Amino acid sequence: MTKKISTQIFTLLGLVILFYILTIIAALILQVKGVEVWRMHMATTALQNIGIFIIPAVITAHIFNPRKMMQVMQLNRIPGIWHIVLMLAIYMASMPAMNAIVTWNENWQLPEALSWMREMEEKAMIATEQMLNVSSIGQLIVVILIVGVLTGIGEEFLFRGTIQRLMSERNINIHLAIWVTALIFSAVHLQAFGFVPRMLLGAFFGYMVVWSGSLWLPILAHALNNSMATIIYYEPSLENMMWIGNETTTLTIVVSAIATMALLYVYYRWVRIKS
């Protein structure tokens, strides 16, 4: 079993590298052809999600579990309504606390030797702004479908549906598997000034799949998170709202943190009682 899992990991890594190279080539072709910047970002993001995340995960699962691919990736089960309700409640409750963590992480002061991280972050922000800078509802819908839904599917297929699963199949403690996967998930984005909130989100997605037994729940949560960020960028006035925006107080942050922990505990106990 250990040998088989190691082979799966190397197969997955090889496929990710292969499709990463192909995605770069495709992006260069689009650039040479003079495709408009926004369209190029949309196309390359879609290619990245399908080629780097979805295809390697699906191929790996299919090669090593040809008759049980949907089952091993936990795609054969739709989460019940209460799983969805609790996920939404936790996500909404956590928003002020997460916004505070985002602000704290963005203001990290790194040594001069690591100034390249800030430069990399600024370049990533410029690319993100070019992608999210839309002028119509139609463009907004396209961004939500690609950056929100497709990215949610792709990243969950790779990280929770494959990497976390393979670690848990090696009899690694499930909490360790969740947090190591969350760390990898955050690290591969190469954004130090968003590392902590992204890692916490990754852990949240990890627990969602474990507690619900369905990969569709973290996919939904991931798509919701990305779509909310897109909508808030499109409509800046939402940033001034007390709960979902950046206008938070110490009291709001404390209430948010307590409510989030309480709801996570309620969800955990409910799952334990059901099982």
- pLDDT tens digits for the chain (275 residues)? 555 888 999 999 999 999 999 989 988 898 888 888 888 889 999 999 999 999 999 999 999 998 899 999 999 999 999 999 999 999 999 999 999 999 999 998 888 877 778 888 888 788 888 888 888 899 999 999 999 999 999 999 999 999 999 999 888 899 999 999 999 999 999 889 999 999 999 999 999 999 999 999 999 999 999 999 999 888 887 877 778 877 788 999 999 999 999 999 999 999 999 87
- Whether the CA torsion 164, 166, 168, 170 is positive or negative: it is negative
Question: How does 12-24 read in b/e, with b if 16+ C-beta sit within 10 Å?
Answer: beebbeebeeebe
Determine the Cα–Cα distance for residues 36 and 39; give it in Å rounded to an integer.
5
Give pLDDT, residue 126: 83
Q: What is the model's pTM?
A: 0.92
Determine the Cα–Cα distance for residues 76 and 215; give it in Å rounded to an integer.
9
Q: Helix, strand, coil: what percent of the chain each, to 5?
A: 85, 0, 15
Q: State both tokens at 13.
A: 């890594």
How large is the greatest C-alpha to C-alpha distance in the chain, in angstroms? 58
Give pLDDT, residue 35: 82
Terminal alpha carbon distance of the chain: 27
| Contact call for residues 256 and 93 (beta carbons, < 8 A) | yes
With tokens 């309480």, the residue in question is 262
Give, in order, the Cα–Cα distances in Å from 226 to each of 4, 13, 28, 148, 155. Answer: 34, 25, 26, 5, 12
Domain ranges of the chain: 71-274
